[in-house]
Amino acid sequence: MCSVALSKQNQVIATANANHAFEHSSQLTLLIQACLDHAAVSFSELQAVALSSGPGSYTSLRVGTSVAKGICYALDIPLIAVGTLASIAWATHQVVNHSDALYCPMIDARRMEVYAALYDGEGNAITPVENLIIHEQSFQTYLEQGKKIVFSGNGAAKCQAVLQSPFASFEPIFCDARHLGSFAQNAFELQEFESPAYFEPFYGKAPNITTPKQRL
């Protein structure tokens, strides 16, 4: 999803999303301008840029990172990186607030693969971000103990038929720039910034690059 949001004092004041996936290269800068216009905010008023740092689509992460770096370099403002899975887990917790539940955001990585991690109700990572092949025994260590897990993200839907348990629930919450605001505000106050020159997104796994076949 190509998504942009503008926040002020931890409140989202404008948002814009592309209608289709994988439109970052053609739509991202247009969406940024649309948000600024809607909120009557100029580029010179921006104090920082936060980006979703991955994991996810290789090309989308590259485009998003390049645009964010360019804005930060041109305006001499901080760059803030927010983990994509952490932001989805936080958004899910706002909707399904179970203090004793675990939250498992999933990003589709093709076939039955997903990028996933487990978080508690306070946003603390229980497991590291991993590239997983989902099967019937996935997460059974927690589910068999009666631990409720709330799955979300665009990778969760395809796993729903496999992860059969009364303690597993699924929420239709996906990547969205609106989810970055709280993390970005906290990082801004703590001055936890990235280098516009050297920051690289977290891809999760190596890109799948092939040589084009010659057409006869």
Domain membership of residue 207 (yes or no) is no
Strand 11-17 and strand 113-116: the pairing is: unpaired
Domain membership of residue 196 (yes or no) is no
Q: What range defines the domain where residue 15 resides?
A: 3-83+175-190
Strand 79-82 and strand 49-52: the pairing is: parallel
Q: What is the pLDDT along the chain (216 residues), one digit of tens a residue?
A: 899 999 998 899 999 999 877 788 899 999 999 999 999 999 999 999 999 999 998 999 999 999 999 999 999 999 999 999 999 999 999 999 887 899 999 999 988 899 999 999 888 999 999 999 999 999 999 999 999 999 999 999 999 999 999 999 999 999 999 999 999 999 999 999 999 999 999 998 766 656 666 665
Question: From residue 169, how far is each of 20, 52, 142, 143 by CA, in Å?
Answer: 26, 25, 13, 11
Domain membership of residue 204 (yes or no) is no
On whether both 60 and 110 belong to a single domain, the answer is no
On whether both 62 and 132 belong to a single domain, the answer is no
pTM over 0.85: yes
CATH number for position 71: 3.30.420.40
Q: CB-based burial of residue 95 (10 Å sphere; 0-12 exposed, 13-18 middle, 19+ buried)?
A: exposed
CATH number for position 116: 3.30.420
What is the total count of domains within the chain?
2
- The beta strands (E) that lie in the chain are given as 3-8, 11-17, 49-52, 79-82, 102-108, 113-116, 130-133, 149-152, 168-170
On whether both 162 and 180 belong to a single domain, the answer is no
On whether both 73 and 141 belong to a single domain, the answer is no
On whether both 79 and 184 belong to a single domain, the answer is yes
Helices (H) and strands (E) in the chain, counts: 5, 9
On whether both 22 and 98 belong to a single domain, the answer is no
Q: Pick from 145, 188, 191, 177: which is nearest to 34 by CA?
A: 177
152, 92 in Cβ contact below 8 A?
yes
Domain membership of residue 202 (yes or no) is no
